[in-house]
Structure 1
């Protein structure tokens, strides 16, 4: 820096006073500057220094980065904050949160995927957390989130949290395109086409090695019934009919979907050991070239291709999600989120402080932060070439950025506002398929409702359905036996849950 040589102390004092006045004047407009991002929504009340924010969230990577790393520093500088992030694996966080909430000694921000647990419901109803719904209109990025998602996370019709947004209907079928091309087939358009694809992958030597060593689709557990039931016309879990709640398992359409599942098993087109297949084995069945279809979510397409291309030269993957069943195109919708962030009143005392915290999340949705989350740090993870981000080979954006920050801390998906780079056809497909699904999404009518019986006995009731479906698919129960077991489920609490949902829905609607 160039030094100024003044001859008198008087001039130095005069200059200092002048600069002080200029700084004070400029501070009135500080909310418009990137450095004051954390205070959006509060006019004339921005603190002089960075805003201290402590966050507890779960993180499922190997090791969370040390404080002061380039990614966290970039976030702090842009949002004018000093962050203290306590991150632990989901299982650890889930175990700790009840005691943290009960103690009242909480940070300003808590990330929770367990906000429907009884202790959290009691906390919401006990006024432990801020209801943020009335403030969202002052934050354009946060207010832009699909209202369906906000409705899905609401408690008693009130919004207490910011959702970590993900697509509402993201189920897809990832498949071996090279196998399909070899067999001269096209992507399925109907459920009959889908069956034929799986049959050909099982019996027509799709890998052209002259051996009978492949099958149609890798399946782990009976979760596929959550897709097949709606495909055949059943509700997605719960449906409201004339004020009464009806569970999918009590409908004939659900059994139609289960019969399709059973046919795939009987014809040996899916994993024979689906009932005990763990995730690692499920993935390995596809990556090793045993199964031709892998049902997962849209964000797994590119990851699976990157995993396979090194070990399987010439592999080509495709993905689709929609094919017509007896009731047309129908795909189950999820909640549209991966947990929420909530804001305790014990650590955020005033509306002004709440607005400052919401302002921090608002700024994280802007281009510079989305670019950071998607591409990493310029010069470390990417370079700008002709104005477009280009990844630097060998950089570890997955462990530096995606796992510790983008996934657990993101609100709106980073690709929404990030700088656009050149992306592959599979990356385009990952973004396109969930959008195509939305008009055909079948929503769970009870997703934002609270049932005491479901909270207390939900795991037991769900296990009853899983067990009876598994036995039916594997031929250990006939249709009459399956129906008899569903009646037991109803008596064990299923009907009571339906009644409680009906009563709760009436209260929320009022």
Structure 2
């Protein structure tokens, strides 16, 4: 009897111990994303456009981990490699906790988002002051079916500008243009009035590639930015007279020798080089390119002076095409972030990245290495490699809000000030594309082919290989090949959101 009693008690104790051990394992499994130092372990997959990603444990990464109380596992790949790998990674379901991507409008990502593979984060953003303060238009632009699945890598909504040779303009005794007519006069003078004063006929007005300026000039002449929505119906910009007016202005620049003659075939590097080497007087690009180009030119021309402007008064006033306001988004897979609690922890990491110490790190680097504080202002150490050690690997791919928003302020040049001011000035006059937040299956499947029809027609018209009747015939071909179907699909998507 006593032996039986002891056996029963022993068995019960053993069962209790097993249950206890089982429970302990379950609790531990819930903490798989934290380590012994209570640091959140975050795996991030993102593109990286530098030469070589910094080694693990570098000074920048250490500062990020210390401030955000995290342990980072960053998988970085060049843009082209990243784009090739991403579909397979998503399809496998074996994803990191965070993925930074530009391809969220691709069919496979639309299916994945609608298939509930990623967290909808819009429901949680009001808990984070920095993340929720991002312009609602940008969140709207990255939404799908009215839901927010990602954090945007924010950039200005309207950042198209014109960078020009101010020293050339001064040589000619001219003022910065304010209207389309004055802009034309400037380009004409740069082409024919020897603006560099070398006694040679070796300059022209503006360097352009393909039809990039058509998308700038068409809105300026009153055309929609891509599409126009009216009473729930969608009209493509090429169906308007205003688009043709902008195209005719571009053709006038070409016919009169004011822009790159071989614009249809040059590469981006040649487009930039024409301005950098003093062949063209105007370079149309984005606001963040001013200082970079200035530094490039002054290496061989120390006395160069650049200026920049964005808004021109056209027949319909000041208008500038708006973009999406982002350079891709971060998404959060449910396969690796299991609970809302974990999601909030990861969002908290990105929230802390927007605070002053992290923005100062992203803007200036590590104090004592990349910069020094002098009278409370950061002064860059010119011998430090800020670009390759900080900007390319961390600031650009990992940033949400631009670093200068909250970083310590140092002395900035007039050109740096222009980089900040011009996109702000543009916002009041920005023309938005209403289809940015909408999905068209035809666009997803046939978009590149359809765009080629328009691009080829525009180039042939500008170069005189098509007359106006022939150009309109090509636009009709675009419509019957899928353009009209896109308009129908956008109208259907718009109606769903409107409900």
Matching of residue 122 in structure 1 with residue 115 in structure 2: no
SS at match of 1:319: strand
- Aligned pair partner of 2:136 in 135, 143, 147: 147
CA 1:204/1:304 → structure 2, altered by over 3 Å: closer, same or farther?
same
Structure 2 counterpart of 1:77:
66
Task: Give unmatched runs, 5+ long, in structure 1.
Answer: 1-44
Structure 2 counterpart of 1:175:
164
Structure 2 counterpart of 1:255:
244
SS at match of 1:158: coil
SS at match of 2:351: helix
SS at match of 2:235: strand
Matching of residue 305 in structure 1 with residue 268 in structure 2: no
Matching of residue 384 in structure 1 with residue 373 in structure 2: yes
**How many Å separate the matches in 1 of 2:436 and 2:329?**
15
Q: CA deviation at 1:247?
A: 0.5
Structure 2 counterpart of 1:14:
none
**How many Å separate the matches in 2 of 1:441 and 1:273?**
30
Structure 2 counterpart of 1:59:
48
Structure 2 counterpart of 1:458:
447
Structure 2 counterpart of 1:94:
83
Structure 1 counterpart of 2:14:
none
SS at match of 2:50: coil
Task: Give unmatched runs, 5+ long, in structure 2.
Answer: 1-33
Q: Is the 8 A contact 2:112 2:118 kept in 1?
A: yes
- Aligned pair partner of 2:39 in 45, 50, 61: 50
RMSD of the TM alignment (CA)?
A: 1.2
Q: CA deviation at 1:46?
A: 11
Matching of residue 509 in structure 1 with residue 465 in structure 2: no
- Aligned pair partner of 2:185 in 196, 203, 226: 196
**How many Å separate the matches in 1 of 2:76 and 2:238?**
39
Q: CA deviation at 1:48?
A: 5.6
**How many Å separate the matches in 1 of 2:312 and 2:174?**
15
Structure 2 counterpart of 1:222:
211
**How many Å separate the matches in 2 of 1:207 and 1:397?**
34
Deviations 1:43-65 (A, max 9, x none): xx999611100000001111111
**How many Å separate the matches in 2 of 1:95 and 1:355?**
30
**How many Å separate the matches in 2 of 1:354 and 1:462?**
39
Structure 2 counterpart of 1:286:
275
Matching of residue 493 in structure 1 with residue 489 in structure 2: no
Q: CA deviation at 1:258?
A: 0.1
Matching of residue 473 in structure 1 with residue 467 in structure 2: no
**How many Å separate the matches in 1 of 2:299 and 2:211?**
31
Matching of residue 109 in structure 1 with residue 98 in structure 2: yes
**How many Å separate the matches in 2 of 1:418 and 1:267?**
47
Matching of residue 448 in structure 1 with residue 448 in structure 2: no
Structure 2 counterpart of 1:37:
none
Deviations 1:241-288 (A, max 9, x none): 111011100111000000000000000000000000101111110011
Spell out the pairing of 1:8-23 with structure 2 (5 A cutoff): none
Q: CA deviation at 1:223?
A: 1.4
Structure 2 counterpart of 1:429:
418
Deviations 1:122-143 (A, max 9, x none): 0110000000001000000000
Q: CA deviation at 1:211?
A: 0.5
Spell out the pairing of 1:205-244 with structure 2 (5 A cutoff): 205-244=194-233
Deviations 1:329-352 (A, max 9, x none): 000000000000000001000000
SS at match of 1:236: coil
**How many Å separate the matches in 2 of 1:91 and 1:310?**
30
SS at match of 1:208: coil
Q: CA deviation at 1:428?
A: 0.4
Structure 2 counterpart of 1:410:
399
Structure 2 counterpart of 1:3:
none
Q: CA deviation at 1:394?
A: 1.3
**How many Å separate the matches in 1 of 2:390 and 2:382?**
15
- Aligned pair partner of 1:396 in 381, 385, 404: 385
Structure 2 counterpart of 1:4:
none
Aligned length: 467
**How many Å separate the matches in 1 of 2:35 and 2:340?**
13
SS at match of 2:313: coil
Q: Structure 1 segments of 4 or more deviating over 6 A? A: none
Deviations 1:375-426 (A, max 9, x none): 0000110000000000012111000000000000000000000000010010
Q: CA deviation at 1:310?
A: 1.5
Q: CA deviation at 1:451?
A: 0.4
Q: TM-score normalized by structure 1?
A: 0.91
Structure 1 counterpart of 2:310:
321
Q: CA deviation at 1:197?
A: 0.4
**How many Å separate the matches in 1 of 2:80 and 2:245?**
36
**How many Å separate the matches in 1 of 2:211 and 2:480?**
22
Structure 2 counterpart of 1:364:
353
**How many Å separate the matches in 1 of 2:373 and 2:455?**
51
Structure 1 counterpart of 2:5:
none
Q: CA deviation at 1:313?
A: 2.2
CA 1:131/1:47 → structure 2, altered by over 3 Å: closer, same or farther?
farther
SS at match of 1:84: strand
Q: CA deviation at 1:90?
A: 1.1
